[in-house]
């Protein structure tokens, strides 16, 4: 039996899309060892993979990293944390590799430690992308990210020196290469898997080393609470699992208070609002695959998993994006006529009402292209890639 090690990023938007793929690998008689944080242990074990916790005694460090990944004003701070965690974990993880002798290493695209483990142990590796990626400087995605993150880089200049210091330490200790901003955010490999339709990736027809699995997160099992579905039409509004935006929550409540719609509002890690009108039902988390398909509209910050689930359920999207990738997602959704990008929060209700009339429809050809899942083929492509490496195959 061949062993594959998967280095995950501890965030729902990164772990959830990988689980159905990992389950397929296990079904094909691979032993999969999945590194993450204990929060995700149950979901990972359900795939048949072995769960292992990252070797850190300070749980808060990984949580800080998870939170900072969604902070659109502290990119350098997030990368500094990633570099410091990489330095702390690499020695023990490299020792694990010697003992486990994996045939292949898979890492999440923002998981630097996974890429460096593969490089330093001379193992074949592939990268797993749950969001829009940059293939090379100058491609359309790089131009879009540059436009959306220009302010982030400016506001984050105070974090630049610690970032450069942390990067220099990794480079000195491990002779690491490929430590540019693009490398640290996307960690490209010779072969890469993408967990959404190529229609949502700018210039996807030019991407040669990427296999688009399709919306794999839509098959996830959810352990979140199930709720009673409202009897009258409702809007499903979600900030995702980690985004923080009190203003967005306040505007939803103010504009939709006592309206003809019920609102199911998912606040994630935000504080619960006070003085909630009767037609607005607030939860921290719910079983999204159970609730979302019954909605008449999905109001979202633009996470790829929610977009895919809304498309799968034929429900229009109104996206108020936060960070750069979400803005790209919103623009792609609008260009495909799957919904709209909300640019002015003050007209949220007006924009929502316009999306509900006339009845929203996706033509069948577009729907099938957006929801087509190729998990079995993804495993076949993984096996073909593995076969070309010719070394470190366990027997």
Mean pLDDT by 10 residues, the chain (395 residues): 94 92 97 94 96 77 58 76 90 96 96 96 96 92 83 70 94 93 94 95 86 87 72 88 72 90 85 84 86 92 92 91 88 92 92 77 82 94 88 42
pLDDT reported for residue 66: 60
Contact 363, 371 (CB under 8 A): no
Domains 3-214+373-389 and 234-363 share a fold: yes
Question: In the prediction, which pLDDT does 393 show?
Answer: 41
Helices (H), 223-313: 246-256, 288-291, 304-312
Could you give the angle at which helices 75-100 and 140-155 cross, rounded to 10 degrees? 120
Judge whether 220 and 309 are in contact, CB under 8 Å. Answer: no
- How high is the pLDDT of residue 302? 92
Closest to 105 measured CA to CA, from 96, 11, 61, 65: 96
- Topology of domain 3-214+373-389 in CATH is Rossmann fold (3.40.50)
What is the predicted pLDDT for the residue at 59? Answer: 56
Q: Give the separation between CA 158 and CA 162, rounded to whole angstroms.
A: 9
Q: Are 70 and 243 in contact (CB under 8 A)?
A: yes
Q: Which two tokens stand for residue 117?
A: 């483990």
Q: For residue 281, list its beta bridge partners.
A: 264
- Please give the Cα distance from 72 to 325 (Å, whole number): 10
Tokens 């619960």 found at = 272
CA 359 – CA 327 distance, rounded (Å) = 25
Right CATH for 234-363 from 3.40.50.2000, 3.30.70.1140, 2.40.50.140, 3.30.1490.190? 3.40.50.2000
Q: Give me the pLDDT at residue 196, please.
A: 95
| CB crowding 152-175: b at 16 or more within 10 Å, else e | beeebeebeebbeebbeebeeebe
Q: So where are the chain's domains?
A: 3-214+373-389, 234-363
Residues in Cβ contact with 288 at an 8 Å cutoff, skipping those fewer than 6 apart: 222, 224, 238, 266, 306, 309
Integer Cα distance of 360 and 57 in angstroms: 50
Structure tokens at 275: 């003085």
What's the CA gap between 297 and 317, in Å, rounded? 6
DSSP state of 273: P
Which 3 state secondary structure label does DSSP give 257?
Answer: coil
Contact 195, 18 (CB under 8 A): yes
Q: What is the pLDDT of residue 288?
A: 86
Rounded to 10 deg, the angle between the 75-100 and 59-68 helix axes is: 130
SS3 for 333-352, per residue? HHHCCCEEECCCHHHHHHHH
């Amino acid at each position: 039996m061949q062993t594959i090690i998967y280095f995950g990023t501890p965030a729902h938007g990164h772990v959830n899309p990988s689980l159905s793929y990992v389950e397929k690998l296990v079904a094909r008689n691979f032993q999969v060892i999945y590194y993450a944080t204990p929060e995700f242990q149950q979901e990972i074990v359900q795939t048949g993979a072995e769960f292992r916790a990252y070797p850190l005694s300070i749980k808060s460090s990984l949580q800080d990293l998870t939170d900072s990944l969604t902070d659109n004003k502290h990119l350098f701070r997030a990368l500094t944390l990633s570099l410091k965690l990489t330095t702390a974990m690499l020695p023990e993880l490299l020792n694990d590799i010697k003992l486990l002798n994996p045939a292949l290493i898979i890492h999440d695209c923002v998981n630097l430690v996974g890429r460096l483990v593969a490089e330093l142990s001379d193992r074949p590796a592939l990268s797993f992308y749950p969001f829009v990626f940059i293939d090379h400087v100058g491609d359309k995605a790089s131009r879009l990210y540059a436009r959306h993150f220009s302010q982030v880089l400016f506001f984050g200049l105070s974090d630049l020196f610690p970032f450069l210091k942390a990067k220099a330490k990794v480079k000195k200790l491990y002779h690491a290469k490929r430590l540019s901003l693009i490398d640290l955010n996307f960690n490209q490999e010779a072969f890469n898997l993408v967990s959404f339709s190529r229609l949502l990736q700018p210039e996807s027809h030019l991407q040669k080393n990427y296999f688009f699995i399709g919306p794999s997160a839509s098959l996830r099992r959810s352990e979140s609470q199930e709720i009673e579905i409202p009897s009258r039409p409702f809007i499903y509004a979600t900030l995702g699992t980690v985004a923080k935006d009190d203003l967005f929550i306040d505007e939803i409540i103010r504009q939709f208070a006592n309206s003809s719609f019920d609102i199911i509002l998912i606040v994630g890690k935000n504080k619960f609002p006070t003085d909630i009108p009767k037609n607005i039902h607030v939860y921290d988390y719910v079983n999204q695959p159970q609730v979302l398909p019954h909605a008449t509209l999905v109001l979202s910050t633009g996470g790829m998993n929610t977009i895919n689930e809304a498309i799968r359920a034929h429900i229009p999207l109104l996206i108020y994006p936060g960070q750069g990738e979400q803005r790209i997602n919103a623009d792609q959704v609008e260009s495909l006529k799957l919904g709209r990008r909300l640019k002015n929060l003050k007209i949220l209700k007006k924009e929502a009402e316009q999306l509900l009339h006339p009845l929203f429809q996706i033509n069948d050809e577009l729907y099938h292209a957006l929801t087509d899942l190729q998990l079995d083929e993804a495993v076949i492509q993984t096996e073909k890639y593995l076969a070309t490496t010719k070394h470190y195959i366990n027997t």
